[in-house]
Structure formats: C-alpha cells, structure tokens
Amino acid sequence: MYADHLLRPWHSELVATGAGAAPFDVHTHTGSNDPDGFRCRAPELIAALELAGARAAVFTMHEPTGYREANDRVLAEAAASGGRLAPFCRIDPRRDGVAEASRCADLGARGIKLHPRAEGFALDEAAVWDVFAVAQDRRLPVLVHAGRGIPALGLHALALAAAFPSVPLILAHAGICDLAWLWRHTAERPNLYFDTAWWNPADLLALFALVPPGQILFASDAPYGTPMQAAVVTMRCALQAGLSLDQLEGVMGGQAERLVAGERPLDHGPAPGADVHALDVLLERVYSLLLTAIGGMLRDDSGEEHIGLARLACEVGEEAPQAQVCRSVLALLERHERHVAAGAAESGLFPGLHLVVVAATVARTPRAPVPADVEAVAVGERSP
C-alpha cells in the first residue's frame, strides 16, 4: 500500500520515544467496488499494518448493491488475519439495518460503520436510532463518516450520544464538518469520540488542543491514507499540542482496544488548550506551501510548483534553529520525487501524496523529534 517503507525513519524516531508502541487503527477498509476508484485487498491492508506494528478495525468500502455479502467477506478476512483485524459491519439503516447489524454481531462483528453521505440518510432518522439500540444491547462502538455534505451531523450526533450513553460514537475524519463548535460539548458527552483519519495537520492540531485525549482515536482511513503515514502524522500533532506519552498511548491504541472489547474507557485528562503551539514564521512558510501543493495533488495536479517553492523556503541556513526540521522536510521531498519518478504502481489515486503530507506535518510540528541525518540535504543559502 503506497510506499510506507520510505517513512520508516520518521516512524521509528517517534516510537523510540515510547509513543505508539502498540497502535490500533480504528478506521480501515477492504473492498473493490467503491465508485471512487480506490481498491484494497485484505493482504495489502495486513502488510501495511504489519509495517506499522498495528492492529485495526476493518469494514467494507462502499457497495452499491448492499452489504450482506461484503460484511461476510470482512468477517472472514478478520478470522483469517491472526488477530490483526477486528471486524466491523457496514450498515445502511434503511435497508434492514437492525437485522443486518444483529446478524453480524452474532457472527463476531465488534463494531458498526455508518456512512450518511454515501447512503443518503441523516442521523436523526428512526432507522438510525434503531441501529444504535442494537449497538447499545451488544456493546458495540459505532463509527460515523463525518466529512462535508451531511447537514446537522454534529447536532444529531450529540442527540444520539445523549440517548445512548453506553455506545461509543466515533466521528471519523476528526469531525471536521462541525469541529469548530462541537469540541465545546465533548466534556458533557464522554462517549463522543473523534478519529484522526485526516490529512490536514491544522485540523488535527485543533483536535488535540481542544478535545480531551481520551476521546481521540488513531485512524488511517486506509487505503485513502496508510497506517504508517497516519501514525507519524497523529503522533507528531499530538506531541506538538502537548500530550504526554501516557495520553498518546491511549490515543494510539489503548482506548480503541478497550472500546472494541466492550470495556469501559479510561479518562486521560483534559485537553491541553489552544495556546500550546506557537507558530515559527519560517517553518510556517514551508508548511503553507506544502499544504497548497497537497491541495493541487488532490485535484490531479502534480503540486510540483509549490513543492519547489517549499524547497526554497527550507533554505534557512545550516546553523538556523529550524535547520534540522528543514533538512527532514527536504529528505521527505527527495523521497517523494524519486518515488514518483520511479512510477511505482499504487492502490490509490495520488502517487506519493503521503510523503508530502508527512513533510507538511514535520514543518508544522517542530516540537516532535525528527530522525538525524536521514539523507545529506543542505539547507544553507544558495551560492551564485
């Protein structure tokens, strides 16, 4: 899955601090029929998880014709994974949702996935509440897609969390559609969780600064992201925001393992607050240019113009306090350039994007450690 081995030095440096030793990725997929063109087979997912030393919750990608057969496939993939995968069932509440959720729970499903946008439902519908009743009875977490295009998602999620206080309700993708205000309600809704399956460090920094760490769960969204890329981004943003290593252990897997096992969650203390990560103006230039490049890559542009400008922004001087971070950014961009030039086949649609995402994250999270001297990259002023 992509070229996660190119990220090993950055991942190993973080794990060496004691963070992320036993990660549990709460958001991964397998499947081959999603209209967006992404594909992922169980062996690909397992290989990517093994590289990051992770276990994962897994559910099927979108299936236009229904989910019974796909859920059976996921249950079989998990049973054959040697404990690497914990099966979730994907449910369309309007299409025998209660019966299918109950059937899958009887067969060993450890959670439920709902996708309101893909299936065209809202969380305030009676059929959704009926599925939550099954989750409450079976002690199953419910993970809900929380991207754009879902009206009143946050309000409906708060209502469900209040009505079903024993059901862990996990908003995927950092709850980005309503995070601007939803974070204020997390203390009163301790069963409301957010996963980190997202690519923008600014959103994840806000999440870690404002939401209690016990309510944040590591996730990759594989195959849209990768476990190792997501682990590096999640750990760096958490450390930049001021989380302790004990809190980060809960984020990276400890809390999710408890939820999937039907156990009581742990309280990992309050959010650190939004004033803990001051900007470095030189590194912010690098970060903003790379973020612009990522936006272009997501629109089928190479992003090379802004990547080139980011390289120039890294020329801060060999003795500058930002030099080590800039060398790390440039090393990642060198790996991205070689990877794209090699034309390696990938299961996704954005070759090398994960390397640029990590490079942007490194620039935005200078408090987190970087590997020393990965590649000999100069950051001094250019000579004529």
pLDDT per residue, tens digit, the chain (384 aa), is 578 999 999 999 999 988 888 999 999 999 988 877 788 999 999 999 999 999 999 999 999 889 999 999 999 999 999 999 999 999 999 999 999 999 999 999 999 999 999 999 999 999 999 999 999 999 999 999 998 778 889 999 999 999 999 999 999 999 999 999 999 999 999 999 999 999 999 999 999 999 999 999 999 999 999 999 999 999 999 999 999 999 999 999 999 999 999 999 999 999 999 776 678 999 999 999 999 999 999 887 888 999 999 999 999 999 999 999 999 999 999 999 999 888 755 545 677 899 999 999 999 999 999 998 777 677 777 655
Please give the C-alpha separations between residue 339 and each of 4, 289, 309, in angstroms, as whole numbers.
Answer: 11, 20, 19
- Tell me what pLDDT residue 36 has: 76
| 223 preceded by a cis bond (ω within 30 of 0) | yes
Do the Cβ atoms of 269 and 233 come closer than 8 Å? no
For residue 353, what are the contacts with CB-CB under 8 A and spacing of at least 6? Answer: 199, 294, 297, 298
Which two three-digit tokens encode residue 53? 């030393």
Task: Give the whole-angstrom CA distance, residue 340 versus residue 204.
Answer: 27
Helical segments of 214-275, H only: 227-241, 245-249, 255-260
**Per-residue model confidence as pLDDT tens digits over 246-299:** 999 999 999 999 999 999 999 999 999 977 667 899 999 999 999 999 999 988
Which tens digits make up the pLDDT trace of 202-256?
Answer: 999 999 999 999 999 999 999 999 999 999 999 999 999 999 999 999 999 999 9
Angle between helices 353-364 and 227-241 (to 10 degrees): 10
Q: Name the 3-class secondary structure at 299.
A: coil
* Residue position matching structure tokens 């096992």: 261
User: DSSP class of residue 40?
Assistant: B
Among 268, 271, 202, residue whose Cα is nearest residue 237: 202
DSSP H helices, 279-348, are 281-298, 304-313, 323-342
Alpha carbon 375 to chain centroid, angstroms = 27
- Model's pTM, two decimal places? 0.95
Which pair of structure tokens corresponds to residue 73?
């496939």
Residue-by-residue DSSP string for 1-36: -TTGGGGHHHHHHHHTTT-SSS-EEEEEEEBS--TT
| Pure H helices in the chain | 8-15, 42-52, 68-79, 97-106, 116-119, 126-138, 153-163, 179-182, 201-210, 227-241, 245-249, 255-260, 281-298, 304-313, 323-342, 353-364
CB 212 within 8 A of CB 270: yes
